[in-house]
Amino acid sequence: MNAPVEPSVDLAPAQRQGVDSIDTPALVVDLDAMDRNLQRMADFARKHGVRLRPHAKMHKSAELARLQMQAGAVGVCVQKVAEAEALVAGGVMDVLVTNEVIALPKLRRLAALARQVQAKGRIGLCVDSAEGVRRLAAIAAESFSGTPDSLDVYIEIDVGQHRCGVQPGPAAVALAREVLACSGLRLVGLQAYQGGAQHLRSVQARREAIAVAADAVRFTLTSLQQAGIGPLRVTGAGTGSFLLEAASGVWNELQAGSYLFMDADYAENEREPAQPAFEHALFVKTQVVSVTAQHAVCDAGHKSHAIDSGLPSVLPLEPGRDLVYANGGDEHGLLRPAGSNRQLPALGQMLWLIPGHCDPTVNLHNHLIGVRGGLRQGHVERIIRVDARGALT
């Protein structure tokens, strides 16, 4: 069980303090930038006639998931049953676990969630093995007492990531037949997520990877159709490639998640010209606590931000005054000047880091501090609980 954490709060105007009051290190969301990202993606999905089901493993917050649904998302994705439990407890009633679940106790928890949301929404799950379907069918038989279509099932196919997923074509058809044979389960779609394409830097490389994935999906849909199965929904895509999936005419549901916060790593991708521009909305606020002749030291190390996708970048103090962050261990970062202006930040200076990877960074914090009006002059508007922090099972 996670330790109880204070719930989200909207601060009354009289309680709102300036950004200067935020103690460091702290994970801060620029709410204005986040709202623009939210709207840009919702508009994109509407314009292209595709459903949007953002991946909530990124922010792990029921409040932000509800916000995405208010803006038009059909529901959200998660990767873990415990994440689904945290979001349903926070009022999010349509959740797809974009993952395989094999342990019977976890499947029982998922079935309990499906019963809980019932008429208000849907719970879904991916499968990629006959054994996985048999286990799911056993739990459905014991949990749904004959009620048909109680849990949504998606066949995951491997479209090039080579992680989970059955082979496209006949193997997917065989699995679909197994799902259809179980009345408690509703066969809804295919999951086709090409995770390996998301961080390919060049537009051309991403286009090639998604073209291969699209062929695999088309082959599978044709095989299903020949077997009299379908039409099925096709869900997948992430922030690096969603424009291509949307344009393919093959995918009809997008799972992108990071667009809401945009980390430093995604900013390295060459952008598709037609893709909406997303802004950095997630920052670690940090303070300079020591200065030497060579560098300044700040109080945010890798207990404050994940470094699996590279070290954070530093928001420039002013145009042309760039700093480079170097690893200083768990609790510290080393800041060195880059470019022509060699001036180090002073002791006590507040700085803003842009994390390399937003998902594991959020998972290090209990709360996100929501700031309105910009990082220099704004105020704290709300404290957003990371409801599914540490929800790993």
Ligand X SMILES: Cc1ncc(COP(=O)(O)O)c(C=O)c1O
Q: In the complex, what is the shortest distance from the CB of residue 107 to ligand X, in angstroms, rounded to a whole number?
A: 19
Q: In the complex, what is the shortest distance from the CB of residue 239 to ligand X, in angstroms, rounded to a whole number?
A: 3
HEC string for 61-114: CHHHHHHHHHCCCCCEEECCHHHHHHHHHCCCCEEEEEEECCCHHHHHHHHHHH
User: Closer to ligand X at the Cβ: 55 or 80?
Assistant: 55
Query: Rounded to an integer, what distance in angstroms lies between the CA atom of residue 106 and that of residue 391?
Result: 13
CB-based contact 111:152 (threshold 8 Å):
no
Helix (H) or strand (E) segment spanning residue 336: strand 333-338
Q: Which of these, 277, 273, 280, lies nearest to 207 by C-alpha position? A: 273
Phi, then psi, of 97 in degrees rounded to 5? -85, 110
Q: In the complex, what is the shortest distance from the CB of residue 184 to ligand X, in angstroms, rounded to a whole number?
A: 24
Q: In the complex, what is the shortest distance from the CB of residue 50 to ligand X, in angstroms, rounded to a whole number?
A: 14
Q: In the complex, what is the shortest distance from the CB of residue 2 to ligand X, in angstroms, rounded to a whole number?
A: 21
User: Closer to ligand X at the Cβ: 221 or 262?
Assistant: 262
Helix (H) or strand (E) segment spanning residue 239: none
Query: What does the DSSP assignment read for 346-374?
Result: PTT-EEEEE-S-HHHHHTT-SEEEEEES-
Closest residue to ligand X: CB criterion = 238
How many other CB atoms are there within 10 angstroms of residue 66's CB atom? Answer: 17
CB-based contact 393:82 (threshold 8 Å):
yes
Query: What does the DSSP assignment read for 6-67?
Result: PPPEEPPGGG--BGGG--SSEEEEEHHHHHHHHHHHHHHHHHHT-EE--BTTTT--HHHHHH
User: Closer to ligand X at the Cβ: 20 or 308?
Assistant: 308
Q: In the complex, what is the shortest distance from the CB of residue 172 to ligand X, in angstroms, rounded to a whole number?
A: 17
Helix (H) or strand (E) segment spanning residue 175: helix 170-180
User: Closer to ligand X at the Cβ: 8 or 37?
Assistant: 37
Q: In the complex, what is the shortest distance from the CB of residue 51 to ligand X, in angstroms, rounded to a whole number?
A: 14
Q: In the complex, what is the shortest distance from the CB of residue 364 to ligand X, in angstroms, rounded to a whole number?
A: 17
Q: In the complex, what is the shortest distance from the CB of residue 163 to ligand X, in angstroms, rounded to a whole number?
A: 9
User: Closer to ligand X at the Cβ: 98 or 252?
Assistant: 98
Q: In the complex, what is the shortest distance from the CB of residue 193 to ligand X, in angstroms, rounded to a whole number?
A: 4
For 33, 116, 214, the CA distances from 46, given in Å and listed in that order, are 20, 30, 21
Can you tell me which residue has the tokens 């009289």? Answer: 14
User: Closer to ligand X at the Cβ: 150 or 239?
Assistant: 239
Token digits of residue 293: 């002749």
Using CB under 6 A, list all residues that contact ligand X.
55, 58, 77, 98, 193, 195, 198, 238-239, 255-258
Residues with Cβ within 8 Å of 234's Cβ and at least 6 positions away in sequence, in order, are 189, 190, 192, 217, 221, 250, 251, 252, 253
User: Closer to ligand X at the Cβ: 257 or 301?
Assistant: 257
User: Closer to ligand X at the Cβ: 189 or 257?
Assistant: 257
How many other CB atoms are there within 10 angstroms of residue 15's CB atom? Answer: 10
User: Closer to ligand X at the Cβ: 60 or 295?
Assistant: 60
User: Closer to ligand X at the Cβ: 55 or 122?
Assistant: 55
Q: Are strands 185-191 and 233-236 parallel, antiparallel or unpaired?
A: parallel
